Structure 1
Amino acid sequence: MNSNKILEVEHVNKSFYLSKKEKLKAVNDVSFSLYENETLGIVGESGCGKTTLARLIVSLYEVDEGKIIFNNEIINKNYYSNELKKLKKSKLDKKQFLIEKEKLKNLSYGDSNSVQMIFQDPIASINPRMSIYDVIKEGLVIQGEKDENIIAKKVYNVLEKVGLSKDIINRFPNEFSGGQLQRIGIARALIMNPKIIIADEIVSALDVSIQSQIINLLNEIKKEGLSIIFIAHNLNIVKYFCNRIIVMYKGQIVEMAPSEELFNNPLHPYTKKLVESIPLPDPNIEKSKKESSEIFDYIIEENSFLIEVKKDHFVRGIKDEKN
């Protein structure tokens, strides 16, 4: 794995209002780095914040607090306005305020175009009224590409990469299977020439044989130097496919480690439950699991933080637990 960081997520928070008075913290002080040519898995139960985090990285949601850095440029669009609001609320005198404001203005800012997302439900994420050609080229058009020859060449190239014939370009989404639509979704992401792909549960709704084909396709794509964030429920796939794994629970990272280390030595109670839940080809073991299963509800302490217990293996705990 390359040691160069390509993406840094720093103390990112996101909340959603459930009512005028009640709010849900979907992503709570999340920090991690992604390295060049790395495949980073993110696992956790439904509602733990995985997809919300992905959508924050590609700017589909606005970050409430924190920053996301791609190649040393801040890419969350509202970072400047968020930090400026904080400055205005601070008790700095006018001179110091102007100095800090200038520092903020002079930071390097960029956009999230080099980070593309493949969605869980290809049917819901593709406009059914658009031809496959229009679906795939849409990102290029939005970015200002007007030369139809260049567009056509790029569309045909990405179709070949994902194993689809260029003969499909005038057909519509309802004519394709789930696996084919997921390949079209991958082509739509690849045409933007991204450095990072976020794959959000992209094989969860597919047959096992099709899952294998999509994973093999991602492995081929990765050889071109892409970094991948792979969000999934299937721990067996994550174990096979990912270099490193993040475990999320209730909006926070509770454990982070290289794949082999995490599966061989899970430390957080929630991670242990996840690893124990992996099905084994022994009916007696599976029967005993079901008989001893219980609802998991771990309370995360407010003053908890990620502790490095050994090289590159982090687990959430409190200061007294460090030793």
Structure 2
Amino acid sequence: MKYSFYIGIIFSLFSACCYSQSFDIDEKYRGDPFFSKLDMQKLEQDCTFPLNYPELDYSKQVEVNKRCPLYYNFSSYFSNVNHLIDKKTVIYQKDDLKLELNKESYRYKEDVNEYSNGDEYTGEKLILSLIKNNEVKDKITLANKFTNETTLLSVGYRYYYFAPSGDIYTLSLIEMDDGIFPQIWMHYKIDEKNSKFNLVQIYHRGYQITYPDNLTILPNPYRDEHYKKSEFDRCLKDPYKEDCSLKYVEDVYRYYLQQLKQKTGQLAQKANTTKNLFTPLKKKRDKLCLDKNTLIGNGYLFPYLDYSELTLCEIKQLKQDINSVKKELAK
């Protein structure tokens, strides 16, 4: 089965019918509509260079580069937008609502831990603020560019598109010698009533989230290279062990997800009903776990979710759902 997630499409019809407000913003501030609809898995594949890339002749390298739409098409993207902004720039105003872009330079040093060497980064970012009655109600990082000053081996970017409907799409990525690596895609919607940017969708490394109650974890296409049945069996017994939560938590999740699908199917058959018993449980479980695990940080580099904690929450709820269905089957 091909897992292709054209992100941005899910909410396009919803936005059109449920939000009448049109945000008339100058075209030069809108960004690029390319980022509103992406096949992220294909983008990740096309933008990762082959291992022998440095040994290829120039013409072959150009062929590889052309497969990645991010390589040539957006080389000056951030600079073009950044040069338009002079400190604080109001890009939209209607009645007491304003949208303002603000340019900031920064220097950031990572904490030293088992996952980080304490690298130092410098960069610039564009902050989009939602202002109501001259008070900043909410803000997000719209665009970003940073350089790893410690290693000089990577440059990071965040690109965006601001649709007339008030939908805002951002794609964060890292560019290195061996390719361009999409990190996280996010879709926001301007909520005028509550004066905030509502986070609607996230795609990050196979995790597809549509708020408030839909989580899909796609299989890793390269998983078979590292999978060990004995390790999976060990982690199935205790997925909360640190090495399990890092390496096998998604496998454990899919195991219990399949178990619940089978049990709810058996229960529907026993009750002689065509009613879908699995989906309501999934929506309830996803909402509970997404409410508990909110987006962490929208700061200097990339925002992120604690995906391990999110998946462990799902596993816990899946096991409870399975036990509940088993009790119904035993009646």
Tell me the TM-score normalized by structure 1: 0.29
Q: Greater strand share, 1 or 2?
A: 2
